[in-house]
Structure 1
Amino acid sequence: MPMQKFNKYGKPRGFHYGYVDKKGQFVIEPQYNMAMPFHEGVASVEKRDKWFFIDLSGQRISDTYDWIGVMNEGFASVVRNDKWGYIKRDGQLLTPLSFDYGLSFSEGMAAVRDNGKYGFVNDKGELVIPTVYEEAMPFYGGTACVKTGGKYGQINKDGTFTIDPVFERFFTFHESLSAVSHEGQYGYIDSNCNLVIPYQFDYAFKFCHGLARVYLNGKTGFITKQGEWIVEPVLQEAEDFKEGLAAVRQDERWGYIDTSGNMQIEPQFVHARSFSDGLAYIRTEDRGVFIDRDGEWQFEDTFEEILPFSEGLACALVKMTEPPSGDPVLASLDRLNTHWQQIRKLFANQSSVRSDLEQSLQQQTRYIDDFRNELAYWVVALPRTLTLEKVIQDLKIADVLDSLDEDIQNLVHSEIEFAISGDQVYRSTHFMLIEHADDAGNE
């Protein structure tokens, strides 16, 4: 099978994500095919097509899924076999995986889609607002925007309309105002549906730090909640205010303005991102750099890609130049074999409780996943020609394999072959373990 040059996220093979600190140093080594920023102390990452959460030390703290969303308010959306649900921070299920789609939690509620319609679940996992809407947005300030009959309105947490669905476009309230559209123009209403800023803009965004970004006649400006211009529509581009500053482009150069409309960092950059966690990414003609709020350079970008900082760390993509350490593979293999021996003893003991056996088997499945992920990372981290024998030699696990139970030896050999070929293990690992453990109990 020819080796693909890119993974399914469009990233070159041999490149992996890790996490760097604000000095640009890796504190969680590159090892993931994809990684997301930290939020509430955890980040979702992907290895071998499986997503899971890690903590700030890089330790895996959840089961694996086909997808995991951002942790918000102690809950995260997860996907398995194309069905969505939610887990708690401790990894326990909040809801069954039964929905077609789900948004992040906000104010104790999350929008979910079932059979093409949206409703809301609460933080107890209960469907408290039926799935009857064509679209739904997160709750903010006790209300959420929904669409029904082709029009947008607003509901409260009881599902009662507080603003009737009469608008062509309606955004969730932010800082007590919401952008709405009528006959192709945008204005702002308050929570009583009073039009407080008349329809006049080509497009309008949410309020941040008391100001909103709007488009007018092909240019961008910022207005106050009274509809007054704090920055006239003369900017070529702009981002929303983040941490008190907004990135703006003027005369082909990017800089940053403060909430008074004054230029805090003069336009001088080819590109600029919003501030996050006290730093912002900018590009000059020849390099990328992170700057602080004073415009001082903090460290240069030497990565293939780097995302904004969050909770002190940023995801960074780098090319692997040498094979990673095999120690994590060996450690996961040792855990796998140790637990397997415990399972065999449980099955050999006629007095073992069935629920204990099944729980132990489920845990063994996780140990297999851990070993599979560590092995897959070690195999694909650096493009090179590998065989079963070479993997065993390079990982220095020949003696370890000889000491293992025969069933685990066979499993390890299969996993190595699968990792090299890139094929998936379609047979249920849980089913296979039950077969072998039952055989052990009958010996």
Structure 2
Amino acid sequence: MKKGLCILLSSAMLMGTAPVYGNVPEVEQVTHTYRAEVGTKNFYKDDVLQTLDTEIYLKDGYVMLPVRAFFTAMGDQTVIDWNREKRIASVLQGANIITMNVDQNEIQVNGKVLPVSGKMETKDGRLFVPLRNWKHILNACNYPLTDEDIVWNSAEQEAVVKIKESKVTEQKDVRELVLSGEGQAPSYAMEMTEQYDFIENAGDGYFIALKYGKDVPVGVITAGQECDYDVIDSTGKVLIDFTAHSVFQLEYLGENLFYVTSADLREKYVVDQTGKTVFTLPYDRILDYSEGMAVVGDMVNGEYLYGYVDVKGNLQIPLQFTKAEPFSEGVAAVSQGKLEQKKWGFVDKNGKFVVEPIYNACGSFREGLAMVRTSEGVGFVNHRGEFVISPVYKSASNFVNGTAFAVTGENNEVWIIDDAGKKLRKITEVKGGSASAEGNDQLMQVEYIVEGVAGEDHTHVIQNYDKNGAISDDVFRLEKGLSEGLAPVYDNTRKMMGYADETGNMMIMPSFTKAESFKDGYAVVKHLVEKSDGSRDEEWGIIANPLMK
């Protein structure tokens, strides 16, 4: 986790629901009308008044619209994070990430900088963006807006925005999510507190907590003055209290070890759970430990190469690979050679090749099999490098509980296959689009390209599947978020997040504005606090998994 960076930790939300198994869905285009009355709190979607707690206004000839109100009107599942110290908003809208830097007056969508008309500003605790910018923002989010779709009526002092959305009309056989039950009150391991500005569940019972600095200008990286870091346990007890402004970056590596970069960027070292230095790092980077080994990388004779160290920092496998993956089932996927000559194989913990580097790409071993790519396609090999499943597929997921997704090369069919390569069930056929495994390798997203919709040449619709067939967006988010039997879910009635089990039964009542997945029995939650002076702050806490008592 980088310092001062507000990381949006939430499941991606994608438009559309799924079609009948094996069929391309029917799609229609729906136009929604958003109307804002300047000088009032009246903001409408399709003539339905939306919640707005501050007035829309004019500044320098621009209509100023509140970011939160506009995005939440577009969809209840929009996630918005506001870093008040940095004055940066991060918005997860569907599959798109929008960032708005107020002080730099910069807007990015999925990392691409957009042109900005006028100036963004905060007022009454809300972020406002000039109306003219919404065309660029929504175009970048794949909504087809033109200048004619944004209208300013000076006589009525009213702005109208028309947004076209592609919707699936064929709904048969799609498994929908029905939330049930009230859920129990959360069991706090650490009570909600404003002590920290961000908490991350690092795993193994460790949490990285930080407090942002108060006096550093946005975009300026000054040695150690932006964040104070602590490592805490699930109760909030401080295990490692780093000196104020002494750490630039802090990451948990596993094996009770933490990677630290000093505030002046001159020192890189690894400490244990007490804060004691185990070894300094003479390499440019180190990745997480797996099976007692961690990948390290650095420049060697003008070329960036990778090797492996043990938990004491001893170099066990010299820096000699152009790429290296974590160990899994006793071996690691590594590559040799450059660019198009690069070939992949597997080495043991002595650095000896147990599967020769002859493949174009390799995945890690899961359940005794590893995905490999050859010039013919994707298949699976065993630990001896023998093909158990021939390389006849275009793409595939890893095996989980003996089954995997596989996409055929001839006609883009998505199948469930077993670990002997037998086709068990056809899920769908992808026409003109693409398919990719998601999250925990038990979900599949398919992008269909549907021709001739509403006068357009084509439109893109993303559908979700699990290994039983088509699922709705809500089921997709639930299944993707499942960890230790529970997943964070959004309750549309209470406008809060809680936790449900795999059936949709609410286990922890909706009580939070942000809820992360469980890891090692605990989850990080956040709540927005409205203060008496009208300002807002954030409380963070840690809750226990009621299924793991």
- Are the counterparts in 1 of residues 416 and 427 from structure 2 also a CA contact under 8 Å? yes
Q: Check whether the contact 1:14–1:380 (CA below 8 A) recurs between aligned residues.
A: no
What residue identity is the alignment partner of 1:172?
S
**1:221 CA displacement:** 4.0
| 1:176 to 2:368 alignment | yes
Please give the residue correspondences for 1:201-350 in structure 2 after superposition, counting only pairs within 5 Å: 201-216=393-408, 220-234=414-428, 239=438, 246-247=442-443, 261=468, 269=475, 271-272=477-478, 273-282=480-489, 289-322=498-531
Deviation at 1:202, TM superposition (A): 2.0
The residue correspondences of 1:1-400 to structure 2 (distance < 5 A) are 8-9=5-6, 11-14=81-84, 23-24=185-186, 27-30=190-193, 31-48=195-212, 49-64=227-242, 65-80=247-262, 81=265, 84-115=268-299, 116-149=304-337, 150-183=342-375, 185-216=377-408, 220-234=414-428, 239=438, 246-247=442-443, 261=468, 269=475, 271-272=477-478, 273-282=480-489, 289-322=498-531, 381=537
Q: Secondary structure at the match of 1:105?
A: strand
| Aligned residues between the structures | 310
Which AA in structure 2 matches 1:195?
A: F
SS of residue in 2 equivalent to 1:207: coil
Please identify, of 161-170 and 208-217, the stretch whose mean Cα deviation from structure 2 is larger: 208-217
- Cα offset, 1:70, TM superposition: 2.9
For 1:229 and 1:197, the matched residues in 2 are separated by: 11
Equivalent residue letter for 2:505: E
The amino acid of 1:315's aligned partner reads V
Equivalent-residue separation in structure 1 for 2:440 and 2:415 (angstroms): 12
Structure number with higher helix proportion: 1
CA change 1:144–1:315 in 2 (3 A) is: same
Decide whether aligned partners of structure 1 residues 311 and 380 sit closer, same or farther in structure 2, where only a CA change above 3 A counts: same
Counterpart of 1:187 in 2: which secondary structure? Answer: strand
CA contact (8 A) 1:271 1:284 kept: no
Equivalent AA in structure 1 for residue 6 of structure 2:
Y
Return the offset for 1:124: 2.4
CA displacement at 1:228 relative to structure 2: 1.9
1:396-436: per-residue Cα shift (whole Å, max 9, x none)? xxxxxxxxxxxxxxxxxxxxxxxxxxxxxxxxxxxxxxxxx
Residues 339-368 of structure 1: per-residue CA shift (max 9 Å, x gap): xxxxxxxxxxxxxxxxxxxxxxxxxxxxxx
Which whole-Å CA distance do the structure 1 matches of 2:353 and 2:394 have between them?
Answer: 27
Q: State the AA in 2 paired with 1:61.
A: L
Q: Which residue of 2 aligns with 1:432?
A: none
Query: How does the TM-score come out when normalised to structure 2?
Result: 0.49
User: For 1:120 and 1:23, how far apart are their aligned partners in 2?
Assistant: 45
Cα pair distance change 1:132/1:306, threshold 3 Å: same
Helix, strand or coil for the counterpart of 2:306? strand
Aligned-pair distance for 1:276?
0.4
Question: Counterparts of 2:314 and 2:381 in 1: how far apart (Å)?
Answer: 31
Q: 1:124 to 1:8 in 2, by over 3 A?
A: closer
The CA RMSD measured in Å over matched residues stands at 3.6
Residue 183 of structure 1 and its aligned partner are, at CA, apart by 2.1
Amino acid at match of 1:145: A
Kindly state the Cα deviation for residue 127 of structure 1 after the two structures are TM-superposed: 1.0
Distance 1:289 1:151 in 2: 46
| Structure 1: 5+ residue stretches without partners | 1-6, 324-378, 383-443
Q: Partner amino acid for 2:357?
A: P
Mapped contact 1:119–1:133 kept (Cα < 8 A): yes
Q: Give CA deviations for 1:289-314 in whole Å, capped at 9, x if unaligned.
A: 52113331224545443221123322
In the other structure, the counterpart of 1:410 is: none
Change (3 A) 1:270 1:121: closer
Deviation at 1:120, TM superposition (A): 0.7
Q: Which amino acid aligns with 2:419?
A: K
Task: Tell me the CA shift for residue 252 of structure 1.
Answer: 7.7
Cα distance in structure 1, aligned partners of 2:477 and 2:237: 35
- Contact 2:498/2:515 (8 A) holds in 1: no
| 1:22 Cα deviation from its structure 2 partner | 7.8
Matched-pair contact (CA < 8 Å) for 1:255–1:268: no
Distance 2:373 2:184 in 1: 41
Question: How far did residue 238 of structure 1 move?
Answer: 5.6
Partners of 1:206 and 1:314 in 2: how far apart? 26
| Contact residue 281 and residue 291 of structure 1 kept, 8 A | yes
Asked whether the equivalents of residues 333 and 345 of structure 2 are also in contact (C-alpha less than 8 Å), the reply is yes
Deviation of 1:63 (Å): 4.3
Partner residue, 1:441: none
* Cα-to-partner distance string for 1:110-169 (whole Å, 9 max, x where unaligned): 111122221111122211111121111111111111111022111111111111222111
Q: 1:239 to 1:71 in 2, by over 3 A?
A: same
What are the ranges of 5 or more consecutive residues in structure 2 without an aligned counterpart? 8-80, 87-182, 213-226, 430-434, 447-460, 539-549
Q: Using the alignment, how far apart are the partners of 1:301 and 1:97 within structure 2?
A: 44
Amino acid at match of 1:8: L
Identity %: 22
Shift of 1:255: 7.7
